[in-house]
Amino acid sequence: MAAARYGSIAIASSQIHISAPSISAAVAHMETELGVQLFIRHPSKGMTLTPVGTQVMQECEHLLERASRLYDIASDSSDAIQGLLRVGCFQSLTPMIAPEVIFGFKRAFNRIDLQLVEGDQPELMTRLQNAEIDVAITYDLQLSEDVQFEVLCQLPPHVLVSELHPLAQQNAVTLGELAAQPMALLDLPLSRDYFLSLFAEAGVEPNIVARSRSEDVIRSLVTNGIGYALFNVRPKSDQSLDGKRFKRLRLAGKHRPMLLGLATYAPAKRPRLAQVFMQRCRAYISDQYIPGMSAASYFDPYVNPAPDAES
């Protein structure tokens, strides 16, 4: 709506405090989802709505008007728009999720005292159970019965290789093909177990030559030809910190995706402020759009089930 109202993604970005690439990606996702062109792009002259885009915008106005009532309800309670909100975030997700979703919430309600806690899964679960955080944005990894988990989106595994890797020209690779190649393993608790379980289920064993708890270190090892790596997150950049590029390849076959969502401690009463924050997360994170991440550029059977042959 902001892009349509101002006729410019750059101006819309400055008005609603969301990055221009995020707005552009969201518009592209919406056009893909609906299967229509919403805007006509005019080089150096902004953008205008198509006839169907005008109709869609009218519906969006109605939707946002209804959605705004949620905040009106929240605003009726003083403790819902002010006070302390403690949000945990899985450390590899924080650079992408935190600016737009977590700190964007702080901008919307500037009387909030926001505390961000980064950590791996065991640390986040311990903090939830000790009432040190109200909600965690994390994965569905080894959740105890007293942790309530709400799925927001799926992140299937994919492969990173250097541009000069022997498999770099393939669109997809199997775990069998990867097994003989050197691997750089993201050595985070539970994440490590998840990646290794993929090989175990395929009946092959990876050739691990390097390990690190840092995603940036692993990407640099990949781009420098040390080995390939498996990841679930999809940062928009295709470069490591040293400026060298990597390629993302589809991991062929069916593999359980990581589920990204909201974790809360079931026995504890959920603060109203946390409820409002969780509503924002539901609006901002989905299979169609994840802040800070590139779109899944390949078909994945878990995220997008294959269409019926007769349809």
pLDDT by residue (tens digit) across 247-301? 999 999 999 999 999 999 999 888 888 999 999 999 999 988 898 888 765 434 4
**Two tokens, residue 63:** 């939707």
pLDDT by residue (tens digit) across 38-60? 999 888 778 999 999 999 998 88
Count, residues in the chain: 311
Q: Give the span between the Cα atoms of 206 and 2, in whole angstroms.
A: 48
Q: CA angle, 298 as apex, 294 and 303 as ends, to 5°?
A: 85
pLDDT by residue (tens digit) across 88-145? 999 889 999 999 999 999 988 888 899 999 998 999 999 999 999 999 999 998 898 9
> What mean pLDDT is predicted for residues 232-250?
92
- Among 116, 124, 113, smallest CA distance to 260 is for 124
The CATH number corresponding to 2-75 among 1.10.10.10, 1.10.1370.30, 3.40.50.1370, 3.40.50.720 equals: 1.10.10.10
Q: Alpha helices, DSSP H only, in 136-258?
A: 175-179, 191-202, 215-223
* 80-154+258-284 and 157-251, same CATH topology: yes
**pLDDT at residue 62, rounded to an integer:** 84
Contact between 177 and 206 (Cβ < 8 Å) = no
Higher-scoring residue by pLDDT: 77, 243 = 243
**pLDDT at residue 251, rounded to an integer:** 94
Residue 311 has pLDDT above 60, yes or no: no
**157-251 fold:** D-Maltodextrin-Binding Protein; domain 2 (3.40.190)
The domain segmentation of the chain, as residue ranges, is 2-75, 80-154+258-284, 157-251
Q: Cα dihedral angle (216, 217, 220, 221), rounded to 10 degrees?
A: -140
CATH architecture of the domain 80-154+258-284 equals 3-Layer(aba) Sandwich (3.40)
**Two tokens, residue 106:** 């702080």
